[in-house]
Amino acid sequence: MGRRIGYARVSTEDQDLAIQKAALDKDGCAIVFEEKRSGTKRANREQLDLALKVLTKGDTLVVTRLDRLGRSLRDLANIAHEIEQSGAHIRVIEQSVDTATSAGRAFFGMLAVFAQFETDVRRERQAEGIAKAKKAGVYTGGKPRINRREVLQMIDAGQGPAAVARALKVSRMSVYRILKEFEEMKQPA
């Protein structure tokens, strides 16, 4: 019998992983990889990549819910394929899925389709809400972009990053990021 490797994920920094970690510990996970990133895309999910790399034949990757692994059908299928290629299995605690069995693999596939459906429906509802708000004249769009030229002009005029940030109502990190980008552009290739 292989190891149980846990993977816990929340979408934002201010969310807590404690409930997932407790469930994974209770399920006997030897290691738990933790991540605070959106699950809508696979990109930049370093802890998931690490978890997949340590899986060996007979191991089981354990998550509390399928949507902790991913929300797109393609990503879930790719993750399941990677796990299968390493000789390991997936266990989803709350949805009673274990891909070590034929029934578990079939159920995993159905849940993956529903996860994609849920994501699609959420996007449709969001688009409908935005369209309705635009029609009512309420929606003004996302955050305004920072005028990089204005930032650089203010810095050239002798203002410090904190003063520029206050004047433009942006974070100091945004000002520093623009300055860094500008310095990198000036560097010879």
Q: What is the pLDDT of residues 30-58, one digit of tens each?
A: 899 999 988 777 888 999 999 999 999 99
Is the pLDDT confidence value at 27 over 90? Answer: yes
In the residue annotation, 86 being an active-site residue is answered as no
Mean residue pLDDT across the chain: 88
The predicted model gives 62-80 an average pLDDT of 88
Question: Residue 131 above 70 pLDDT?
Answer: yes
How many Cβ atoms from other residues are within 10 Å of residue 104's Cβ? 17
Residue 123 has pLDDT above 90, yes or no: no
> The CATH number of the domain where 72 resides is what?
3.40.50.1390
Strands (E), 57-143: 60-63, 89-92, 97-98
Measured CA to CA, the distance from residue 94 to residue 9 in angstroms comes to 15
pLDDT in tens, 75-115: 888 899 999 999 999 999 998 889 988 888 888 888 888 88
Does residue 75 fall inside a structural domain?
Answer: yes
**Active-site entry in 11, 38, 72, 86:** 11
Distance, CA of 174 to CA of 119 (rounded, Å):
31
Cβ atoms of 12 and 39 within 8 Å: the answer is: no
Q: Is 96 a domain residue?
A: yes
Q: What is the pLDDT of residue 41?
A: 79
Q: How many domains does the chain have?
A: 2
Residues 25 and 111 in one domain: yes
The verdict on 104 and 163 lying in the same domain is no
Query: 20 near 68, Cβ under 8 Å?
Result: yes
Question: Which residue range forms the structural domain that includes residue 18?
Answer: 4-117
CATH of the domain at 175: 1.10.10
